[in-house]
């Protein structure tokens, strides 16, 4: 297969993952903090001591880190503090055998592309967070990697810096093989060709972006995709949710089969007057959390985003009625385990 | 942080214990003859030899102590504690014991054999070996603890950028160890400069060849206590200057 | 809190002062005003002789309190002049004996033994050293005492009498340093006193013809002080008198 195919396992951190990304595509690795994303990326880059597994690029097994051609943009930037900005960016080309002048020229070109021309002589300690991230990006790309791994590339930056870096990454990743690890579903919508969802050291879903984001198979993946998963049985154009509630849907498998819809909380109404265009579910409030000028009300079954002005109505443990829209896209939920595209034998034992 | 007040009198006692001997030494120096004593042929020869040998020993300490620090850093488990204790032994060994040990290793009847041992005996090389032996632990400890404080993150990044281990060492790790290397080197230099017991036991004492400043002081004491005191004061001044220099960069980097 | 702190300081100060005073008593060997022993400061080369004399006194007087401190003559002289409580000073060097006698305003020191130089070589004499002239040979690594110390001054004097220019590999600080370098095989030959060879192991003696031209004289100085006068007199007589002469001769010393 053309592209990256990685199997990384490290028992001490509870990570055991098989993951692939095809040449030229961007995979967004979506997972909460602590789910093992950084560990996985370090394993793919070959800098994780004690990791077992195998990383193949275009079918060929990769050796030690320095020969992999896998660039890593780490969360902490890890710029070399004893070198100038130019020295940092020129490091990769120099390491690959370029003469000093040539390497400096490459570095200047990259600094120019990330918008930092003029800062060549600064020390990393004298850079702002956004500037340091840009230098780290330039440094990773100046080494001309075949695959680029970005670990939370927008974390720890203030809003203007983060949006600037987002724009830069969007431009630089075009046509590149890349994996972006993030906990923000926004990044998945913005950058992903493919999405993998990671939970507690395992990839729980893996597919194309539209598949995973709009048709998640597990409540966890749905949450990472900022949706609520409603599962039930198909009954003649409706999804039977239990408790006698039947939600009219579009598509879906034949009658009697297990299916799901993934509804966005923004589409759900908290009632209110009984609107016949919606299906009403009586639920109890589990959490209420502010999100900007809205509130996310999460119940046992569904969730909804409502205006902050309605905070007084919603008490944790108290009753709530969710109004679910009709005509959501239903999809079969048969496979017991999510399968990644091109996934091999999941029971294979790690090579030591 | 300020401690309780009763620490103060003890601190004064401790300070006096350090200060009084230095004052005592200074009180025995005939100041009107100070320069002529220090600038005497014997003193200058010994000081020159001391500075030269200590400089060479420091270079050796860097060349050998840094790799040893890296090796120690790589070790894990109880072996590391054991190896560290052995490597650091010269730091706490009585100097005469160090001298005897060197004698049995590098002497004419030592482990290296007659040929090599004979060439080393009573030569300036023997002085340098003795000084390197006693001074190296400073560098090893310094490098080891500096490496322990590093996460290895920069080295890992260097690897993903395609750097060989050698390039990573030279371009990333060693520059970052700069302050630790400087501290180790300066302390090693000071220790080499002050080395006495092992040199006396192992290298002998010949003017211009093996008689370093501390040996000259020891000998001058027999006949010319004033010269001994004057030269001692010079070494004290060098020691204080060197230590003051060594601790500044470390504090600055924290 | 204040009071506790005050007590802590007081206790520490008392402990410190107590330790200082106790230390000074122990150092001086003064247990009380009525001290009934003697303290002998002896040149290290006299170790065996003094031990024998002490043993013989102890055979008669098992409880006799004799403290002996051994060291280099110049160190011992310096300590006595700084106030160390010696009863008898046995110096390997006339000059140091004179320095103590002059410094404390005492009688002339009494000469009681002599010593001459000899060549010491490692067992088997690997460099086949036959006399002082061999020390000039380029293939002989020799060590002698530095001219600043008495054994070195004597060596230099003998060499000049012989018309030799010695080029040692090392000018050692003391006879002990010379002996240890030869015994270890670092040096092929050294120049020390006859009695030093008798005490050393792992070495052989190569006598120097005409060594008697440079004689080192051992002197004794009696120092008045707070001690047992009869025991002091007994020790003096046993070392400087007839019994001592036999022991000294046995140990290789010459007699004046």
Inside any domain, residue B63:
yes
Q: Domain segments of chain C: what residues?
A: 35-113+216-250, 116-215
Q: Is the pLDDT of residue A322 over 80?
A: yes
A346 and A18 Cβ atoms separated by less than 8 Å: yes
Chains C and B touch (3+ CB pairs under 8 A): yes
Selected residue of B157, B163, B170, B173 to mutate for chain A interface (largest A Cβ count, 10 A): B157
What is the torsion angle, in degrees rounded to the nearest 10, for the CA atoms of residue A231, residue A235, residue A237 and residue A242?
Answer: -40
* pLDDT at residue B253 tops 50: no
Nearest to C185 among B6, B9, B109 (CB): B109
pLDDT at C17: 57
CA pair distance A63, A338, nearest whole angstrom: 30
Across the interface, of A64, A69, A95, the residue whose CB is closest to B167 is A95
Q: Does B167 touch chain A (CB under 8 A)?
A: yes
- Chain A environment of B164 (Cβ under 8 Å): 66, 95
Has C167 been labeled as part of a binding site? Answer: no
User: Could you tell me the pLDDT band of residue A344, with boundaries at 50, 70 and 90?
Assistant: very low
Q: What pLDDT score does C173 carry?
A: 85
Contact B160 A95 (CB under 8 A): no
Tell me the average pLDDT across C28-33.
39
Is residue B13 in some structural domain?
no
B48-69 pLDDT, tens digit each? 999 999 999 999 999 999 999 9
Computed over every residue of chain C, the mean pLDDT equals: 83
- In chain B, whose CA is at the least distance from the CA of A149? B160
Confirm whether residue C68 is marked as ligand binding.
Answer: no
Candidates A43, A64, A77, A80: best to mutate against B (most CBs of B within 10 A) is: A80
pLDDT score for C28:
42
CB contact, 8 Å: B252 with chain A? no
User: Looking at the predicted structure, is the pLDDT value of residue B251 above 80?
Assistant: no
Q: What is the DSSP string of A115-129?
A: T-TT-TT--GGGS-H
Q: What angle do CA C149, C152, C154 make, to 5 degrees?
A: 110
Q: What is the pLDDT of residue A90?
A: 93
Q: What is the C-alpha to C-alpha distance for residues B249 and B178, in angstroms, rounded to an integer?
A: 9
User: What total of structural domains would you count in chain B?
Assistant: 1
Query: C116-215 is classed in which CATH architecture?
Result: 3-Layer(aba) Sandwich (3.40)
Would you tell me which CATH number, out of the four given (3.40.50.2000, 3.40.190.10, 3.20.20.140, 1.10.3720.10), belongs to the domain C35-113+216-250?
A: 3.40.190.10
Cα separation, A20 vs A180, in Å, equals 13
pLDDT at A277: 83
Question: Which structural domains are found in chain A, ordered by start?
Answer: 3-219 (3.40.50.300), 227-332 (2.40.50.100)
More confidently predicted of A149 and B253: A149
Whether chain C has a CB inside 8 Å of the CB on B28: the answer is no
Q: Residue B170: what pLDDT?
A: 92
Burial class (CB in 10 A: 0-12, 13-18, 19+), A144: middle
| Statement: residue C34 has pLDDT above 60 | no
- Collect all residues with Cβ–Cβ distance below 8 Å to B91 and sequence separation of at least 6: B134, B137, B138
Q: Is the pLDDT of residue C158 over 80?
A: yes
Q: Are C35-113+216-250 and C116-215 the same fold in CATH?
A: yes
Please indicate whether, in this complex, the C-beta atoms of A91 and B178 are within 8 angstroms of each other.
no
Please tell me which residue, C36 or A262, carries the higher pLDDT value.
A262
Residue (of B54, B41, B95, B58) closest to B207 by Cα position: B41
Is B112 at the interface with chain C, CB within 8 A?
A: no
Three-class DSSP category at A93: helix
Is residue B191 domain-resident? yes
Sort residue C9 into left (φ over 0), alpha (ψ -120 to 50) or beta. Answer: alpha
CB contact under 8 A, B219 and C184: no
Length of chain B measured in residues: 254
Q: Is the pLDDT of residue A158 over 60?
A: yes
pLDDT surpassing 90 at residue A83: yes
Distance in Å, alpha carbon of B192 to nearest chain A alpha carbon: 30
Residue C140 among known ligand-binding residues: no
Instruction: Name chain A contacts of B154, Cβ cutoff 8 Å.
Output: 78, 80
Alpha carbon distance C189, C185 (integer Å)? 9
CB atoms within 10 A of CB C94: 16
Shortest distance between the Cα of B75 and any Cα of chain A, in A, equals 15
| Whether the predicted pLDDT of A325 surpasses 70 | yes
pLDDT tens-digit profile of C119-155? 999 998 888 888 888 888 888 899 999 988 888 889 9
Tracing tokens 């004492």 back to the chain, one arrives at: B205
Q: What is each CA distance from A195 to A30, A260, B80, B98, in whole angstroms?
A: 7, 19, 45, 66
Helix H, strand E, coil C: the string for chain C is CHHHHHHHHHHHHHHHHHHHHHHHHHHHCCCCCCCCCEEEEEEHHHHHHHHHHHHHHHHHCCCCCEEEEEECHHHHHHHHHCCCCCCEEEECCHHHHHHHHHHHCCCCCEEEEEEEEEEEEECCCCCCCCCHHHHHCCCCCEEEECCCCHHHHHHHHHHHHHCCCCCCCEEECCHHHHHHHHHCCCCCEEEEEHHHHHHCCCEEEECCCCHHHCEEEEEEEECCCCCCHHHHHHHHHHHHCHHHHHHHHHCCCECC
* Residues contacting residue A269 through CB under 8 Å, at least 6 positions apart: A275, A278, A304, A322, A323
Interface of A with B in 137-196 (CB under 8 A): 139-140, 143, 145
- Give Cα A257 distance to the centre of its chain: 30
Distance, CA of A122 to CA of A84 (rounded, Å): 5
Q: What is the pLDDT of residues A10-63, one digit of tens each?
A: 888 888 889 889 888 999 998 888 888 888 899 888 888 888 888 888 888 888
In a domain, B163, yes or no: yes
B154 contacts A95? CB cut-off 8 A: no
Cβ contacts (< 8 Å) between B253 and chain A: which residues?
none
E strand or H helix at A146? none
Average pLDDT of the residues in C178-195: 90
Domain presence at residue B93: yes
Band of residue C29 on the pLDDT scale cut at 50, 70, 90 = very low
Domain containing B241 equals 31-253
Give yes or no for residue C2 having a pLDDT over 80. Answer: no
What CATH number is associated with residue B127? Answer: 1.10.3720.10
Mean pLDDT of C41-63: 89
Contacting residues of B for A143, CB less than 8 Å apart: 160-162
Q: What is the dihedral of CA A76, A78, A81, A83, to 10 degrees?
A: -140
Q: Is pLDDT at A340 greater than 50 in this prediction?
A: no
Q: CA of B17, closest CA in chain A: separation in Å?
A: 42
**A234: number of CA atoms within 13 Å, CB side?**
21
Q: What is the pLDDT of residues B157-201, one digit of tens each?
A: 999 998 889 999 999 999 999 989 998 999 899 999 989 888 888
When scoring B3, B6, B119 by the number of chain C Cβ atoms within 10 A, the one with the most, hence best to mutate, is: B6
Burial of A250 per CB tally in 10 Å (0-12, 13-18, 19+): exposed
Tell me the backbone φ, ψ of residue B244, rounded to 5 degrees: -60, -40
Reported confidence tier of residue A338, pLDDT bands at 50, 70, 90: very low
What secondary structure does DSSP assign to chain B, as a single string? Answer: ----TTHHHHHHHHHHHHHHHHHHHHHTS-GGGHHHHHTSHHHHHHHHHHHHHHHHHHHHIIIIIHHHHHHHHH--THHHHHHHHHHHHHHHS-HHHHHHHHHHHHSTTSTTHHHHHHHHTTSHHHHHHHHHHHHHHHHHHHHHHHHHT--SHHHHHHHHTT--HHHIIIIIIHHHTHHHHHHHHHHHHHHHHH--HHHHHHT---TTTT--HHHHHHHHHHH-HHHHHHHHHHHHHHHHHHHHHHHHHHHHH-
The per-residue pLDDT of chain B, averaged, comes to 87
- Select the residue from C168, C184, C190 to test the B interface by mutation, using most B Cβ atoms within 10 A: C184
Check pLDDT > 70 for residue C12.
Answer: no
- Asked if A63 reaches chain B (Cβ–Cβ under 8 Å), the answer is no
B170 and chain A: CB distance < 8 Å anywhere? Answer: no
pLDDT tens, residue by residue, A211-253: 888 888 888 888 888 888 888 888 888 888 877 888 888 887 8
- Over residues A93-100, the mean pLDDT reads 90
Tell me if chain C has a CB within 8 Å of the CB of B252: no
Look at B162 and A96 and tell me if their CB atoms are within 8 Å.
yes
Closest partner residue to C184 (CB to CB) among B6, B107, B210 is B107
In terms of Cβ atoms closer than 10 Å to its own Cβ (0-12, 13-18, 19+), residue C64 is middle
pLDDT band for position B133 (cuts 50, 70, 90): very high
pLDDT at B72: 92
- Asked if B104 and B223 touch (Cβ cutoff 8 Å), the reply is no
Residue B152's pLDDT band (cuts 50, 70, 90) = confident
* Interface contact B219-C13, CB threshold 8 A: no
C73 is in an annotated binding site: yes
Convert the pLDDT of each residue in C64-117 to its tens digit: 888 899 888 888 888 898 888 899 999 988 888 999 999 888 888 989 999 899
Give me the interface pTM, i.e. the ipTM.
Answer: 0.80
Which of C200, C9, C196 minimizes the C-alpha distance to C122? C200
């Amino acid at each position: 297969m053309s592209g990256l195919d990685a199997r990384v396992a490290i028992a001490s951190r509870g990570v055991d993952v098989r993951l692939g990304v095809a040449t030229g595509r961007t995979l967004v690795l979506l997972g909460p903090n602590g789910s093992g994303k950084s560990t996985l990326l370090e394993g793919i880059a070959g800098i994780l001591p004690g990791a077992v597994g195998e990383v193949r690029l275009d079918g060929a097994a990769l050796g030690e880190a320095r020969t992999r051609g896998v660039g890593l943009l780490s969360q902490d930037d890890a710029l070399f503090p004893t070198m100038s900005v130019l020295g940092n960016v020129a490091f990769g080309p120099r390491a690959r055998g370029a003469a000093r002048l040539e390497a400096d020229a490459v570095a200047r070109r990259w600094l120019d592309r990330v918008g930092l021309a003029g800062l060549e002589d600064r020390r990393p300690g004298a850079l702002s967070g956004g500037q340091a991230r840009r230098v780290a990006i330039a440094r990773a790309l100046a080494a001309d990697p075949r695959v680029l791994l970005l670990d939370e590339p927008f974390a720890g930056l203030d809003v203007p810096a983060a949006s600037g870096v987002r724009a830069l990454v969007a431009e630089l990743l075009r046509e590149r093989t890349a994996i972006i690890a993030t906990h923000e579903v926004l990044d998945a919508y913005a950058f992903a060709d493919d999405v993998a969802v990671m939970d507690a050291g395992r990839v729980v879903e893996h597919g194309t972006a539209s598949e995973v984001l709009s048709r998640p198979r597990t409540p966890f993946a749905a949450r990472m995709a900022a949706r609520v998963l409603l599962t039930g049985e198909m009954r003649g154009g409706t999804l039977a949710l239990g408790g006698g509630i039947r939600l009219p849907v579009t598509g879906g498998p034949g009658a009697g089969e297990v299916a799901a819809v993934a509804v966005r909380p923004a589409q759900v109404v908290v009632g209110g007057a009984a609107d016949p265009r919606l299906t009403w579910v009586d639920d109890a409030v589990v959490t209420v959390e502010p999100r900007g000028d809205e509130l996310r009300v999460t119940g046992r079954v569904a969730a909804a985003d409502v205006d902050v002005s309605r905070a007084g109505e919603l008490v944790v443990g108290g009753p709530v009625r969710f109004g679910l829209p009709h005509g959501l896209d239903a999809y079969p939920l048969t496979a017991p385990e999510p399968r990644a595209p091109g996934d091999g034998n999941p029971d294979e034992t790690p090579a030591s | 942080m300020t401690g309780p007040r009763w620490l103060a009198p003890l601190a004064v006692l401790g300070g006096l214990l350090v200060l009084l001997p230095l004052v005592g030494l200074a009180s025995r120096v005939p100041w009107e003859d100070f320069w002529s004593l220090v600038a005497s042929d014997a003193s200058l020869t010994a000081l020159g030899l001391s500075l030269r040998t200590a400089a060479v020993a420091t270079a050796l300490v860097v060349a050998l102590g840094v790799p040893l620090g890296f090796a120690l850093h790589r070790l894990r488990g109880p072996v590391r504690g054991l190896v560290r204790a052995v490597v650091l032994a010269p730091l706490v060994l009585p100097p005469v014991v160090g001298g005897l040990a060197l004698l049995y290793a590098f002497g004419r009847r030592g482990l290296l054999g007659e040929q090599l041992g004979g060439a080393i005996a009573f030569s300036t090389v023997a002085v340098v070996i003795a000084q390197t032996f006693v001074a190296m632990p400073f560098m090893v400890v310094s490098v080891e603890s500096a490496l322990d404080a590093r996460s290895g993150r920069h080295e890992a990044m260097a690897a993903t950028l395609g750097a060989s281990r050698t390039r990573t060492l030279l371009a990333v790790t060693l520059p970052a160890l700069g302050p630790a290397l400087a501290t180790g080197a300066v302390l090693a230099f000071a220790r080499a400069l002050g080395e006495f017991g092992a040199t006396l036991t192992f290298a002998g004492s010949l003017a211009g060849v093996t008689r370093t400043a501390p040996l000259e002081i020891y000998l001058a004491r027999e006949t010319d206590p004033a010269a001994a005191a004057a030269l001692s004061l010079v070494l004290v001044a060098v020691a204080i200057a060197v230590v003051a220099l060594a601790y500044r960069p470390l504090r600055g980097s924290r | 809190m204040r009071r506790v702190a005050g007590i802590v300081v007081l206790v520490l100060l008392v402990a410190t002062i107590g330790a200082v005073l106790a230390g000074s008593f122990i150092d001086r060997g003064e247990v009380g005003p009525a001290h009934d022993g003697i303290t002998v400061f002896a040149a290290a080369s006299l170790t065996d002789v003094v031990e024998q004399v002490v043993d013989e006194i102890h055979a008669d007087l098992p409880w006799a309190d004799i403290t002996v401190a051994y060291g280099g003559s110049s160190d011992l002289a310096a300590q006595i002049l700084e106030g160390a409580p010696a009863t008898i000073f046995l110096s390997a060097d006339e000059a140091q004996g004179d320095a103590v006698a002059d410094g404390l305003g005492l009688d002339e020191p009494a000469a009681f033994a002599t010593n001459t130089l000899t060549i010491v070589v490692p067992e088997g004499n690997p460099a086949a050293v036959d006399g002082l002239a061999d020390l000039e040979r380029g293939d002989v690594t020799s060590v002698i005492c530095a001219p600043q110390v008495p054994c070195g001054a004597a060596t230099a004097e003998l060499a000049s009498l012989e018309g030799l220019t010695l080029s040692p590999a090392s000018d050692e600080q003391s006879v002990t340093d010379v002996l240890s370098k030869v015994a270890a095989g670092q040096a092929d030959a050294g120049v020390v006193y006859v009695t030093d060879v008798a005490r050393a192991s792992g070495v052989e003696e190569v006598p120097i013809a005409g060594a008697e031209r440079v004689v080192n004289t051992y002197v004794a100085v009696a120092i008045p002080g707070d001690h047992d006068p009869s025991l002091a007199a007994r020790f003096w007589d046993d070392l400087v008198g007839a019994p001592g002469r036999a022991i000294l001769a046995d140990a290789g010393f010459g007699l004046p």
